[in-house]
Amino acid sequence: MIVSLNDPASILNWWKVFPERHDAFLEFKLRASPEFAPAIREAQRRIAASPELRELHLSAARAGRIRSAEEDPEDICRSPYELRRAEVA
């Protein structure tokens, strides 16, 4: 799946596939690439405004699967490959 970080609809469709992983990535991109902030914020607003998407987000958070980048600041410096290896280990 290809995601356009300039298009809130594209971000939203991508987020729905794996919200527990994509939430953390979007938070990272907000800090690392502020040029995408307007579209990412709009996608986050749409998630918060939709009862079904909000429930999907909350159920993943309740299961403890959504982590913010603040929980592990070293994650910001790690490649997606390294993050995935750490998850599997």
pLDDT band at 7 (very low <50, low <70, confident <90, very high): very high
Higher local confidence (pLDDT), 43 or 82: 43
Q: What is the pLDDT of residues 59-71, one digit of tens each?
A: 766 655 545 444 5
Residue 11's pLDDT is 95
Residue 56's pLDDT is 80
Mean pLDDT of 18-46: 90
Amino acid code (one letter) for 64: G
Cβ within 8 Å of residue 4, ≥6 positions away: 10, 11
Tokens, residue 24: 């953390």
Are the CB atoms for 29 and 60 separated by under 8 Å?
no
Tokens, residue 60: 């993943």
